[in-house]
Structure 1
């Protein structure tokens, strides 16, 4: 009804008056109501739309959070408030700049600020500062535009000292970022004499020191920084920057002093980016002083604080990771690999999951350091005397190779790794699993390798390693398959040349039913002239084949052939690891041949043949006896004997004594049996040796000494554990031995009488 009392023009003017008086609520209500009148002329519509746009703009200025709906309404009103073909005014450009900034459309805001400056806006300094603040937020490539704007701002004559220092700070920051340290230092040096206000002067002096630090001139920067430190209040922000830079200068050469600066930051600037910087610096300085617990704790606190305070301009996750990298690299160079690995693992755990390149670099480092640590521990193991320490070291070695393998396995599947590189890394992982004593994992990786890269140059070695693993697990058929492939397809490769002996070892381990196949493989190596180009008598594999062939002949009862092969093998290679076993088997063969001589003596009535066989038996026993002595010496020289070698050694002691007994050399036999007792007094072999000593004294007619032997046996019986009577191949129980001793006491043998001996076999002790 009121609208009818006034003209439309009156209401437009009234809206404008309310706007001027900043009565935004009533001005907005009236203007929006009048805009609905159909009789408005175009000029009135423009004025009313301008009022509505202005109200939205002015009421949004003090707000921290802006309404998207209101800002979109602003643009509608603003568009309708501009006559066609009329350029925008300075105020209109600035109004649009504000709204676009509130909408985070920084590129549009920057463009309108530039247009306002071009049209002759008055406060150019303020507008240029605002433009410099907004340009980095546009998301566009603005480097050139930013530099031009910054130079335009810095070269103005009407700048206040504060604005000049602000501009110099921005310029030097960009120069620092681009590595143009000399230009930055020159700029600051030229500007510094013009600065009179102390705070600004000290701020620029700090920037100058920072530039000198970046120029690798810390000796020039440090005095300036210490001067600033003495002239400002202890909790000033510039002091925090100075403390941080002084800590960085000192951390490598003077970590104790650096820690003091970082501790001051931690104490004086809690829960700030400077607190965070102090923790990172403390972590690095403690690492330099080998205070590993303190270093790790500081880095962990830094990571927690970063999550708490969020991203900041001073220290980010990348800065923490770079510090961790420097600390871990330093520790690795100082041979503190365990601690270096702990920091490197911390760095790796906090890398971005999508940063494939950085993760790959860290995986290489972690895998390499774990292998290096395992190698150092292996070298130390060779010098360790304590079994307890040795076992602990072995566990650590296996663990480090295991971790290296895991990191390499992860690296092999990284998107940054090429196919060929992946194959090589997977190969290294399998080797680490082997050294970690994890054959199942090594097998899994090698089988994957063979499947994925069947034409790789490492395939022969992969097949051989797999065959070795299969063989160690008694999966002889799988091992046989691989060895045959190697012999057929890769005969001239190093592993192909090793495969026949390995295949023969497989057959040998499979049992007597496969001895013939083992012999055939080996004879083809050492006898087939067509293979001489592959295996010369001087080659290692030829000599291995000779040793194994002789061993097969022994276990198949071909003792003459065994002796021939093994003696030839020893002539070619007397220092081979198999030499002690070969000497023992030759001795055993001569003993077996002597037993065959004795058997033939009992089977013939030809006196001449009997004499010949008896002489041969004596000669074979002598050879066996001498070879047992040699095998004892050879086996005892082996530093780390296998269970089989321990068995050979015990048997050699026993059989040497038996040979002396069979030769009738009873005093020497008694001494030899005493050696058996000395070496194996906690076993039933000692009891058997006492029996033979008693028999030897009987043969020598020294019956009085037999009682002493029986008494020693009784004492030993009391000392032996029950399991000594349960050894494989030992049928006599403790009770059986006791009954034998008692029988000897009752037999009358110990009370020697010729009449008694005439009625006996003369050998009552031998049962």
Structure 2
């Protein structure tokens, strides 16, 4: 038995120790008592939560403040009193306004919310206070709703807004921008600033400057001089005297006293700091004077100085505009265009206080566009035109249509130019032809909307849009444009052409079923139109691609064999469709093995249209049809016992067709020989190559259906095969010519020559590169021909000849 003590269970250890359970019970009771004495959680009051939202706003945490107010408004557990809801809506307005004041571009959703929350910030019988009117005016101003904004601002003035003169200045700028006020009314507004009590000095000077500009716009130069003399007493302070000098220089500039204005401005700048507002104003005006004197380099210096040194102001923004014009005058277009864009952006950020005239920018950039376009610098001209197009006034549909039309035409022209360069192998174009055509298509599509009231113009815009998208390879957009046109203008004379175009687009995309739908709709709905006639051949091609050769044939025969009663207008042989149908019928019949019909159509096509570019191809195909027709006579018709009575006629036809095939193959070779090698395509070269071998085959096959084969056929075929093998000695096809030459020598009974030709074939095989064999099927590689020549040499005729020579 082990001496190790055994561990006892817990119950045995605490047996008789009553204090331990009592301790556990005491701790549990104490814990429960402490929990019962815990303080009840306090629910925050409305005022506490509202104050928290206000503190978040004052700290600039607008998003968090907005969330806090929104939570209070939407909390279902909190029953809000009407005045509490009004306070929350007002706080939300102040949050949204504070957030938007920090943005250059204002969110439409926030503008809408400002107006909605302000509407809910008062009771039904209450009115807004001055501050709320002002906030609503800001929202309308950001919304570019000048009428509502001015009305709200005037209500704010009537309600006693703080700093009323600053708000009146804003109203004046907005009313001047939108127009509608007479010159006298505008002068009266400015006079109120000059004569008003407690008007800040800066605003008094602003009003004086505006009056000088207004006088100059009217051409009232004498009145401007009288005004400056009358108000000279208000500019006695040293700081105001400098401003008065600037106003005199501005007035002199407007009356063409340029030299006096320039001297005064230069003297003025000597007394100013570079950060002074007048320093920026005088620099801008000197820059304008230099531009008027056609000295853009000097003007650029003044504008750059203002741009770099002046704080943000209307003069600094105007200097950016002037800098863009100076850069354009220096032909520094890469810098001018982004500078114009900067000026446009600055004008958009301060649309009412700016000195930038967007319509004048439009006129200037339009002039640069015309000049550059006339010089052939289309890409650069297009960039200026894009700027000008953006600045056409909304609602001026005639001007917008004119600019969009220019933009579409230039983009299309640039696409054509880039396409020509791409075809020529030039790759320096940085903007691909496809992108230009897509831009042109979208511009023409927009033009179609702008001139929708003019059917002729809208039709032309649609046609150009579809053409542009087509050239860009964007079939989806091509079809969108055409389908919309067909749907919206079903009675337009362009509809048949649009339907044909839709069919062609589907056909090019491989959607032959849908192409058939468009073509058949065109032929059915508009049978007497040229577009319907032009749909017949492509419709036949779609049927052929769908495996419906009978429908393809019937469609083509409607052209060449017009039947009385057919609604399609009669198509004469002079028409392009007739020519296309003849060629297509020849292809259709020969591909279907109906060689006699194919021969008839090809023959007619060559007779009528021998000068057609396809005559080369058709001559070869006609030769092939004669050869294949002869083969079928030999392999099918002659062995047929039902043709016993006409076998001699069949043999005659066989010889005639082979003879015709040989003549045509020779014609193919001669036709292509007269063309320069640079004009031949790969397919052309294939036709020539096959013609060399097939004309020899045609002569060789003449002996196959002759009771006593003429040795001259073999001799003639031998010569033709020899010429073909020599001409294409580096091509694996030459091996078939050598095999036929061996057959000819054997037919002529000259086994020795046959053996020599076999050896020539071996030498020729060694001279053919592996690259040439790689172009063919692996079943006819070098190994195949080596094995075939070995087998041929081991045939009894050559073995017997070898044994005879050995004996």
Bin for the TM-score computed over the shorter chain: 0.5 to 0.7
Check 1:191–1:639 CA distance in 2 against 1; reply closer, same or farther (3 A cut). farther
Question: Is 1:336 paired with 2:377?
Answer: yes
What TM-score, normalized by structure 1, do the two folds share? 0.65
Question: Is 1:706 paired with 2:758?
Answer: yes
Alpha-carbon shift at residue 436 of structure 1 (Å) = 0.6
Q: Which residue of 2 aligns with 1:242?
A: 285
* SS of equivalent to 1:232: helix
Alpha-carbon shift at residue 693 of structure 1 (Å) = 5.3
Equivalent-residue separation in structure 1 for 2:734 and 2:431 (angstroms): 37
What TM-score, normalized by structure 2, do the two folds share? 0.62
Equivalent of 1:658 in 684, 690, 697: 697
Check 1:307–1:613 CA distance in 2 against 1; reply closer, same or farther (3 A cut). closer
Equivalent of 1:743 in 780, 791, 795: 791
* SS of equivalent to 1:286: helix
Alpha-carbon shift at residue 371 of structure 1 (Å) = 1.2
Equivalent-residue separation in structure 2 for 1:358 and 1:610 (angstroms): 78
Equivalent-residue separation in structure 2 for 1:589 and 1:241 (angstroms): 84
Q: C-alpha offsets along residues 175-214 of structure 1, whole Å, 9 cap, x if unaligned?
A: 544xx44x53x656899999999975774354233344xx
CA contact (8 A) 1:71 1:99 kept: no
Structure 1: gaps of 5 or more residues = 1-67, 73-96, 111-128, 155-163, 213-220, 759-767
Check 1:401–1:653 CA distance in 2 against 1; reply closer, same or farther (3 A cut). farther
Check 1:693–1:229 CA distance in 2 against 1; reply closer, same or farther (3 A cut). farther
Equivalent of 2:620 in 565, 584, 602: 584
Q: Which residue of 2 aligns with 1:623?
A: 663
Q: C-alpha offsets along residues 421-443 of structure 1, whole Å, 9 cap, x if unaligned?
A: 66654443222211111112212
Equivalent of 2:312 in 262, 271, 293: 271
Equivalent of 1:374 in 401, 415, 419: 415
CA contact (8 A) 1:247 1:257 kept: yes
CA contact (8 A) 2:623 2:662 kept: no
Q: Which residue of 2 aligns with 1:209?
A: 253
Query: How does 1:361-440 map onto structure 2 within 5 Å?
Result: 363-381=404-422, 384=424, 386=425, 389=426, 396-410=432-446, 412=448, 418=453, 420=455, 425-440=461-476
CA contact (8 A) 1:203 1:238 kept: no
CA contact (8 A) 1:525 1:535 kept: yes
Alpha-carbon shift at residue 638 of structure 1 (Å) = 9.1
Check 1:677–1:510 CA distance in 2 against 1; reply closer, same or farther (3 A cut). farther
Aligned length: 611
CA contact (8 A) 1:106 1:135 kept: no
Question: Is 1:724 paired with 2:764?
Answer: no
Equivalent-residue separation in structure 2 for 1:311 and 1:136 (angstroms): 8
Check 1:503–1:636 CA distance in 2 against 1; reply closer, same or farther (3 A cut). farther
Equivalent of 2:610 in 545, 561, 574: 574
* SS of equivalent to 2:353: coil
Equivalent-residue separation in structure 2 for 1:150 and 1:607 (angstroms): 115
Equivalent-residue separation in structure 1 for 2:249 and 2:543 (angstroms): 83
Query: How does 1:59-458 map onto structure 2 within 5 Å?
Result: 103=161, 141-146=181-186, 173-177=213-217, 180-181=218-219, 183-184=220-221, 203-212=247-256, 223-234=259-270, 236=279, 239-249=282-292, 254-302=295-343, 312-315=353-356, 324-345=365-386, 363-381=404-422, 384=424, 386=425, 389=426, 396-410=432-446, 412=448, 418=453, 420=455, 425-458=461-494
Equivalent-residue separation in structure 2 for 1:755 and 1:422 (angstroms): 90
* SS of equivalent to 2:355: coil
Equivalent-residue separation in structure 2 for 1:134 and 1:405 (angstroms): 38
Equivalent of 1:517 in 547, 551, 566: 551
Q: Which residue of 2 aligns with 1:555?
A: 591
Equivalent-residue separation in structure 2 for 1:168 and 1:493 (angstroms): 71
Equivalent-residue separation in structure 1 for 2:458 and 2:494 (angstroms): 13
Equivalent-residue separation in structure 2 for 1:688 and 1:146 (angstroms): 99
CA contact (8 A) 2:722 2:741 kept: yes
CA contact (8 A) 1:192 1:205 kept: no
CA contact (8 A) 1:188 1:208 kept: no
Q: C-alpha offsets along residues 483-504 of structure 1, whole Å, 9 cap, x if unaligned?
A: 2222233122221121222222
CA contact (8 A) 2:404 2:447 kept: yes
CA contact (8 A) 2:304 2:319 kept: yes
Question: Is 1:539 paired with 2:575?
Answer: yes
Equivalent-residue separation in structure 2 for 1:607 and 1:304 (angstroms): 92
Question: Is 1:667 paired with 2:719?
Answer: yes
Alpha-carbon shift at residue 398 of structure 1 (Å) = 1.6
Equivalent-residue separation in structure 1 for 2:622 and 2:292 (angstroms): 74
- RMSD over aligned Cα, in angstroms? 5.2
Check 1:244–1:736 CA distance in 2 against 1; reply closer, same or farther (3 A cut). same
Equivalent-residue separation in structure 1 for 2:774 and 2:327 (angstroms): 60
Alpha-carbon shift at residue 620 of structure 1 (Å) = 2.3
Q: C-alpha offsets along residues 268-310 of structure 1, whole Å, 9 cap, x if unaligned?
A: 4353333323332333333444434323443455456667878
Equivalent-residue separation in structure 1 for 2:377 and 2:776 (angstroms): 49
CA contact (8 A) 2:735 2:761 kept: no
Equivalent-residue separation in structure 2 for 1:275 and 1:528 (angstroms): 78
Equivalent of 2:515 in 473, 479, 504: 479
Equivalent-residue separation in structure 2 for 1:463 and 1:572 (angstroms): 30
Check 1:323–1:270 CA distance in 2 against 1; reply closer, same or farther (3 A cut). farther
CA contact (8 A) 1:635 1:649 kept: no
CA contact (8 A) 2:620 2:665 kept: no
Structure 2: gaps of 5 or more residues = 1-127, 133-154, 195-203, 702-712
Equivalent-residue separation in structure 1 for 2:526 and 2:215 (angstroms): 62
Q: C-alpha offsets along residues 653-682 of structure 1, whole Å, 9 cap, x if unaligned?
A: 54245335555332233222333445xx3x
Equivalent-residue separation in structure 2 for 1:134 and 1:413 (angstroms): 32
CA contact (8 A) 1:192 1:201 kept: no
Equivalent-residue separation in structure 2 for 1:140 and 1:334 (angstroms): 41
